[in-house]
Amino acid sequence: MGLFSKKKKEKPEEKKQEMKVYIQGAGGSIVSKSILNGTSRLKWLFRQESEHGNGWVAFGDTDTQEYVDDANNMAIVDFNTLANMEPTVVNVFYMPVGSDLEFRSDKTGKYFVDTRTGKEIRESVKHPAQIAFEKNLKFLNQETYPADFFQLLFIESAKIKVAQAGKADFPTGEVVLADPVAYLGSSYETVLDKKVPTGSYPVELSVCHSQIVGLRISAARLLISERPAVSYEIAMPKGKKKEDLEKPGVFTFFGVDTGLACFADKRISEECRIFFEKWEKENPGKNKYTDYFASLFHKSYESQPEFQNQDGSFLEWELPESGQRTVLFSSGMGDGIFSGYWGLDAEGEIVCLVIPFMNPEYF
């Protein structure tokens, strides 16, 4: 047998390189087959309206108009397929419909140019929800806002619906703002300096239907009186006045660590503490939310599904021992720090207490 008649030893089949997932749930994009088969390099990327997929379309540097007009030369692939071939596309994924971009690669690096403005895009474009969240974070907890900001939160529109969440009882009139799962009944709750007349008051919620973040509670309002509010002032913690705002260590906000907030009376807060101390002893290792509140929130959702997410967004809770009520509700985009604001009538009397979580304009 000659040298060339010997059978070559077969190489083991190389494993296919797994596709890296840059963006979860990125959806399908239309990409020219010339890019996919390597006969061209990415040159043009634009985003169009699409009922299916994410709307991104990619053409190569050798593609002609005649080539791309033939549907057989185009393929629908996961956006991550394109990103694995050219990772720079991840930077522009969240740009809006109508974006028209040219890809460039030179000694300064790889980047896109907006063909409409000539602007170079070298950094990752943020998700619209992230942009809105950051703007909202700067907006919250200011000393004051115009009265119409609070009023518009509770005027129904295409984006805003107003939900009646239930009633909260105030046997002492001393008002507590807190995360009901993490801090109600603890030293971390915020007791307000001003009191309300003893009684039971309805709680209204401003429910924002956002295309960016879905259904969210943008504000909660405790209605003390039917008189209209003409001005608002920040609610100070017990023992502090507005004049103390500039002093070190004086804070008006309360913390949320479980995505929930509430209006509660101080006596009910104390009853809540005692109830859960007993409950936790009887239910070692169990979680207050998942093992106690979750089923109650689901029942609330079933009673008013049009205003809530499926896990439940608010709850009128009757304490098991006394039957006294408090109202629990989701806090906008979740955990954070939030302040209450007293609504005052023309004579300076309290008519409501509002907690803003989101500025709906941003979402």
CB 330 within 8 A of CB 220: no
CA distance 238 to 240: 6
* pLDDT for 4 beyond 80: no
Q: What would the pLDDT profile of 87-135 be if each residue is shown by its tens digit?
A: 999 999 999 999 999 999 999 999 999 999 999 999 999 999 999 999 9
Give every CB contact of residue 136 below 8 A, 6+ residues apart in sequence.
Answer: 332, 333, 358, 359, 362, 363
pLDDT-derived band at 51 (thresholds 50, 70, 90) equals: confident
Amino acid code (one letter) for 186: S
User: What percent of the chain stands above pLDDT 70?
Assistant: 95
pLDDT-derived band at 3 (thresholds 50, 70, 90) equals: very low
* pLDDT for 203 beyond 90: yes
Strand partners, 57: 30, 46
Q: What would the pLDDT profile of 129-185 be if each residue is shown by its tens digit?
A: 999 999 999 999 999 999 999 999 999 999 999 999 999 999 999 999 999 999 999
Strand partners, 177: 190, 263
Residue 5 is classified by DSSP as G
Amino acid code (one letter) for 86: E
CA distance 292 to 272: 13
* pLDDT for 11 beyond 80: no
Residue 185 is classified by DSSP as T
CA distance 216 to 209: 7
How high does pLDDT run on average in the chain? 93
CA distance 293 to 287: 9
Stated length of the chain: 363
What are the contacts of 266-270 at 24+ separation with CB within 8 A? Answer: 266/172, 266/174, 266/175, 266/176, 266/191, 267/171, 267/172, 267/174, 267/324, 268/169, 268/171, 268/176, 268/319, 268/322, 268/324, 268/325, 268/326, 269/176, 269/178, 269/184, 269/185, 269/189, 270/185
* pLDDT for 206 beyond 50: yes
Locate the domains of the chain by residue range: 28-125, 130-362
pLDDT-derived band at 16 (thresholds 50, 70, 90) equals: low
* pLDDT for 59 beyond 90: yes
Confidence (pLDDT) at 17: 65
